[in-house]
Chains A and B, each alone.
Chain A
Amino acid sequence: MELLYASSVGVLVSCGVFLILRSRTFPVVLGLTMFSYAVNLFLFSSGRLSLNQAAVLGTSTEYADPLPQALVLTAIVIGFAMTAFVVILAIRGRTDLGNDHVDGQVPDKNNHNNDNNNKVKV
């Protein structure tokens, strides 16, 4: 279970980081969402992973740590609000700036082509 859990956190983080580094806002927002999912999973595991244990004191001798669950709840709520805000901001950016690039301008296609041509020539 630990291996599965850890690798899913890892895959989510790597996908999230990859998407955050993209130049358009939509992938970036998606990347942020994935990153926050990974963080929530990670935070949950900080109370150690265990099966069939109640998070209530006194009902069993073995109990799960209830605090990370509370932390994850807080983190989910905050992350949700922040994602909603960044989505709205991205839409506003799309209308204000006329394109959906994070830097507010479409990279110069011609320059790019020139570079390619130069490379081909070299």
Chain B
Amino acid sequence: MIQNLAFLPILLPMLAGVILLTSLFGKNITSRRVTSVVLSTITFLVSLVLLLKVQADGTQVYAIGEWSAPFGIVLVADPLSTLLVSLTALLGLVCVLYASAGDDEKGSFFHPLVHFLILGVNGAFLTGDIFNLFVFFEVLLIASYALLMHGGDKRNTRAALHYVILNLVGSAIFLIALGVLYGVLGTLNMADMAQKVALLQGDDVYLAKIGGLLLLVVFALKGALLPLHLWLPNTYATAMPVVAALFAIMTKVGVYSMMRVYTLIFGDEAGELSHMAQTWMWWFAMATIAMGGVGVLASKDLRKLTANLVIVSVGTLVALVAVQTIEATSAAIYYLVHSTLVTAALFLLADLIGRQRGDVADRITAGPAVAQPRLLGVCFLVAAIAVIGMPPLSGFIGKVWLLKATLDAEYTFVFWPLYLLVSLAILLSVAKAGSTVFWHHQDSLIESNATDSVEQSRVHPAQLAALIILIAGAPLMTIFAGPLSEYAIGAASQLHDFNNNIKIILSGGH
């Protein structure tokens, strides 16, 4: 069991999905919810155990079917991937908990789909084989297509259509890139590719470059990097907020793939091709941050606002990946965890606030007062401080760290002012949104009906629990900033340790 631990974060969600898919529970929604919560808790605990084991014993390599690398497919559980697997499992648990308050009844198969999505995301984080990465991308995508349509309306159908078509084109480009890279390198194992890419000669170098840059296009599409970010605001704002909160991890899959591919395969040791995508990522990331900032200023409702905050965070992360130093990567790891938790919390908050304001929903205009201003107000304040990056919460630490990490990068004199200006824009819009939603009331609307529906939409205990887990991330990441940053630095230095990576992965562990 213990040597197969690396495979469990993929196997458990799959089993959970299959169990929940069966008619075992009939129409009994309560038992289905309880089973789903229990199973996602187990997944979360197992990923924590894996995390501890990787901390204690070093990187775990699991060869599927005992076919050793580079011939078979390996799963690589190193500090970075296990951290992200745990984050995904936590987010899945939170979303299942939140949806159990009633959102899961708006369509069929909510719970199995969440588990299949977690299966795909975990697989994408753990795999050490680039074609397997494609397969897990497809697994998470097909689950996300169905989740996106869950309980949706007309606007939702249109956004889903765009999302699906874009991602199908993206998958096709992914395959072309893989074909080119396989044709040149003759292997699909990432560590083996990293070794062979330095040995390329003549025209093959250019072919590998084409393949590598096509991969960048795909990851930019998944991660919503400018100019391929246009699908994100609509998709995230029309999906059910709990689904949008779960999707907060999906853009990070794109960023994580960039981290792997452009640090390991096309990193320091790639000969002529080393750091070939760095300039592209750096400038497009800055453009993404700027675009996200404009979007944040222009957002008219809380969900759009949060979707644009996701774009800013993706831009920030990709900029850090482009710097390619250990310090920048560790800042990126810390910021990734922080931004995932806080954007997910904001999506859930937007939903809760919207439910208590009747027809005005989550639009940033004066409307009826929320029923529980203290609870939601305090949660919003904490999430807002974290997302803006004000002291004393995790956003501040992340921001200081990433500014420090980009100090020596090329063109920092463009990045710093841009990033700080966008932070100011975020500060302005979030403050405006908060004060409008909580303080500007317009109670002239029909009172009697409104109070009834507001009474019904008081925060459900399950929703509250889910929200508090996410919100608590910000203060906890501040209190435990020491061990967390040490972990992030360790994970980053392992990611950058080329020879060690190759040795561990190709020899099948230790």
Contact = CB atoms under 8 A, between A and B. Distances in A.
B162 A39 contact: no
- Size bracket, chain A contacts: 20 to 34
B164 A89 contact: yes
Contacts, number: 86
A119 to B, nearest CB: 29
A74 B135 contact: yes
B375 interface: no
A32 B169 contact: yes
A106 interface: no
A5 to B, nearest CB: 13
Contacts of A47: 182-183
B182 A71 contact: yes
A46 B165 contact: no
B175 A39 contact: yes
Contacts of A71: 131, 178-179, 182
Interface stretch (B74-82, B153-161, B259-267, B454-462): B153-161
B180 A81 contact: no
B168 interface: yes
Contacts of B154: 96-97, 104
B164 A86 contact: yes
Contact of A28 (B135, B165, B188): B165
Interface in A5-47: 20, 25, 28, 32, 35-36, 39-40, 42-43, 45-47
A62 interface: no
Interface in B124-176: 131, 135, 138, 142, 145, 149, 153-154, 157-158, 160-162, 164-165, 168-169, 171-172, 175-176
A78 B172 contact: no
A64 interface: no
A97 B157 contact: yes
A82 interface: yes
Contacts of B162: 102
B183 A46 contact: yes
Contacts of B135: 74, 78
Given A28-B165, A35-B169, A42-B176, A89 B182 contact: no
Contact of B145 (A20, A36, A85): A85
Interface in B182-202: 182-183, 188
Nearest to A94: B157
Q: Which of B135, B175, B178 has the most CB of A within 10 A?
A: B175
Given A32-B165, A82-B171, A104 B182 contact: no
Contact of A93 (B142, B161, B176): B161
Contacts of A97: 154, 157-158
A55 to B, nearest CB: 15
B157 A82 contact: no
A74 B136 CA distance: 12
A32 B166 CA distance: 10
Interface in A65-80: 67-68, 71, 74-75, 78-79
B157 A43 contact: no
Nearest to B160: A89
A39 B145 CA distance: 22
Contacts of B182: 46-47, 67-68, 71
A85 B165 contact: no
A103 interface: yes
A85 B142 contact: yes
A81 B142 contact: yes
Contacts of B175: 39-40, 42-43, 75
A82 B138 contact: yes
Contacts of A82: 138, 142, 164, 168, 171
B508 to A, nearest CB: 20
A39 B218 CA distance: 15
B164 A93 contact: no
B138 A20 contact: no
A25 B161 contact: yes
A41 B275 CA distance: 31
Nearest to A82: B168
A36 to B, nearest CB: 6
Contacts of B179: 39, 42-43, 45-46, 68, 71
A76 to B, nearest CB: 11
Contact of A32 (B142, B157, B168): B168
A19 to B, nearest CB: 11
A26 B164 CA distance: 14
A54 B176 CA distance: 25
A33 to B, nearest CB: 10
Contacts of A85: 142, 145, 164
Contacts of A25: 161
10 contacts: A28-B165, A36-B168, A39-B176, A39-B179, A67-B182, A71-B131, A86-B165, A90-B161, A97-B158, A104-B157
Q: Which 10 residue pairs across A and B have the least CB separation, nearest first?
A: A46-B183, A104-B158, A46-B179, A43-B179, A96-B157, A39-B175, A39-B172, A46-B182, A78-B138, A96-B154
Interface of B: 131, 135, 138, 142, 145, 149, 153-154, 157-158, 160-162, 164-165, 168-169, 171-172, 175-176, 178-180, 182-183, 188
Given A42-B179, A43-B179, 8 more contacts: A39-B176, A67-B182, A71-B182, A82-B164, A82-B168, A93-B157, A102-B162, A104-B157
